[in-house]
């Protein structure tokens, strides 16, 4: 394997786990609140506005953890998002989005990967628990070799670096962590058939226990390097071990409800090259 160098300082932070220190509130007209001395953040949505925050740091690779408790009750039309994103017209993005639903129906856990401004790589899952009853950990592992989505340390999706077969892969643009709670009743619930019930507002989602201790923080203008030799084990991860692979197969067999790689109606001319290379899903 050839040695890979990236022009950044790989600063593995000792996360303060404090929203005051780690994040900026970017919109919401008072709808985003930092509580419990910085250890809890809540976002709210009403008819006037949603709300959101973003990390002070930018990252180029890392393993990022956040605990979320989603909007309870009738959350149809709402979307709680938690994702990494760069800037510009050819941005990269790694998405968790949680699509609300009518009371008693399951949430949809929506994932997507955008490279150089192009997405259309959605996979969706039902959670195997009630994501509104308690906090659960949602993690993104982003290495030069693969992107892995985890829920409570169980892998649910793997997107490999397949640049060798001309599949674009996010590896050059630093990204910030973003989160928001917003109204998407034009598409989010049953394709927009179910509208947001504003009599239930304000809707609230909660966040805690952010951890970027394995995040490689981007420092622009630095001459240092983050390399395969100086980084922890996740940096060189190319595939899951056998135990994790079995968990991935269990989730995808029992809880996957949409996979772009098998959507012939949406992609009648065929799917992205990564689908054929890795096999659906």
Does the pLDDT at position 82 exceed 80?
A: yes
Residue 268's pLDDT is 80
Q: Is 191 left (phi over 0), alpha (psi -120 to 50) or beta?
A: left
d(CA 15, CA 210): 8
pLDDT tens profile 42-74: 999 999 999 999 999 999 999 999 999 999 999
Tell me what percent of the residues of the chain surpass a pLDDT of 90: 71
Structure tokens at 154: 């169980």
Q: Give the residue-averaged pLDDT of 274-281.
A: 68
Mean pLDDT over the full length of the chain: 88
- Above pLDDT 70, what percent of the chain? 88
> What range defines the domain where residue 20 resides?
5-278
User: In degrees rounded to 5, what are phi and psi of residue 146?
Assistant: -165, 155
**Mean pLDDT across 91-103:** 95
Question: Above 50 in pLDDT, residue 13?
Answer: no
33-44 pLDDT, tens per residue?
999 999 999 999
Q: How confident is the model at residue 124 (pLDDT cuts 50, 70, 90)?
A: very high
Q: Is the pLDDT of residue 4 over 80?
A: no
The predicted model gives 251-278 an average pLDDT of 86
Q: Is 97 a catalytic residue?
A: yes
Instruction: Say whether 163 is catalytic.
Output: no
Please give, one letter per residue, the 3-state secondary structure of the chain: CCCCEECCCCEECCCCCCHHHHEEEEECCCCCEEEHHHCEEEEEECCCCCEEEEEEEEEEEEEEEEEEECCCCCCCCEEEEEEEECCCCCCCEEEEEEECCCCCCCCEEEEEEEECCECCCCEEECCCCCCCCCCEEEEEEECCCEEEEEECCEEEEEEECCHHHCCCCCCCCCEEEEEEEEECCCCCCHHHCCCCCHHHCCEEEEEEEEEEEEEEECCCCCCCCEECCCCCHHHHCCCCCHHHHHHHHHHHHHCEEEEHHHCCCCCCCCCCHHHHHHCCC
Catalytic residue of the set 93, 122, 163, 238: 93
| CATH label of the domain that carries residue 110 | 2.60.120.200
pLDDT tens-digit series, residues 203-241: 999 999 999 988 888 887 564 445 555 667 788 888 899
For the cut 90, the answer to whether the pLDDT of residue 147 exceeds it is yes
Which pLDDT score is estimated for 266?
Answer: 87
Question: Is pLDDT above 70 for 6?
Answer: no
Tell me the pLDDT band of 131, cut-offs 50, 70 and 90: very high
| Rounded (5°) CA angle 106-112-118 | 145
Give the pLDDT band (50/70/90) at residue 5. very low
As a whole number of angstroms, the distance between CA 93 and CA 119 comes to: 9
Which band of pLDDT confidence, cut at 50, 70 and 90, is reported for residue 279? low
198 pLDDT above the threshold of 90: yes
Task: Tell the burial category of 44 from Cβ atoms under 10 Å away from its Cβ (0-12, 13-18, 19+).
Answer: buried
Catalytic residue chosen out of the listed positions 58, 97, 238, 246: 97
Q: Indicate if the pLDDT at residue 159 is higher than 90.
A: yes
Measured between alpha carbons, how far is 76 from 9 in angstroms, rounded to an integer? Answer: 43
**Count of domains in the chain?**
1
CB 175 within 8 A of CB 59: yes
Give the pLDDT score at 224: 41
- How confident is the model at residue 79, as a pLDDT? 95
pLDDT, residue 15, reads 52
Amino acid 81: pLDDT: 97
């Amino acid at each position: 394997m050839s040695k890979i160098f990236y022009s950044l300082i790989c600063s593995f932070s000792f996360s303060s786990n404090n929203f005051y220190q780690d994040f900026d509130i970017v919109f919401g007209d008072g709808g985003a609140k930092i509580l419990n001395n910085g250890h809890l953040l809540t976002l709210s949505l009403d008819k006037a506005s949603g709300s959101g925050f973003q990390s002070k740091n930018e990252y180029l690779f890392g393993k990022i953890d956040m605990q979320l408790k989603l909007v309870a009750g009738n959350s149809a039309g709402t979307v709680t998002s938690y994702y990494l994103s760069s800037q510009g017209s050819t941005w990269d993005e790694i998405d968790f989005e949680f699509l609300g639903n009518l009371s008693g129906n399951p949430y949809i856990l929506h994932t997507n990967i955008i490279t150089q401004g192009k997405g259309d790589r959605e996979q969706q899952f039902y959670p195997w628990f009630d994501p509104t009853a308690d906090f659960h950990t949602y993690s993104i592992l982003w290495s030069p070799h693969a992107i892995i989505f985890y829920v409570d340390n169980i892998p649910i999706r793997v997107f490999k670096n397949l640049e060798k077969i001309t599949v674009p892969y996010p590896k050059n643009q630093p990204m910030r962590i973003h989160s928001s709670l917003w109204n998407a009743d034009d598409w989010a619930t049953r394709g927009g058939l179910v509208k947001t019930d504003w009599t239930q507002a304000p809707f609230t989602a909660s966040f805690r226990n952010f951890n970027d201790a394995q995040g490689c923080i981007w420092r622009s203008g630095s001459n240092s390097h983050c390399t395969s030799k100086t980084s922890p084990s996740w940096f060189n991860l190319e595939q899951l071990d056998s135990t994790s692979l079995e968990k991935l197969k269990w989730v995808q067999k029992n809880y996957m409800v949409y996979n772009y790689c098998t959507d012939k109606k949406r992609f009648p001319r065929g799917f992205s090259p990564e689908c054929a290379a890795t096999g659906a899903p």
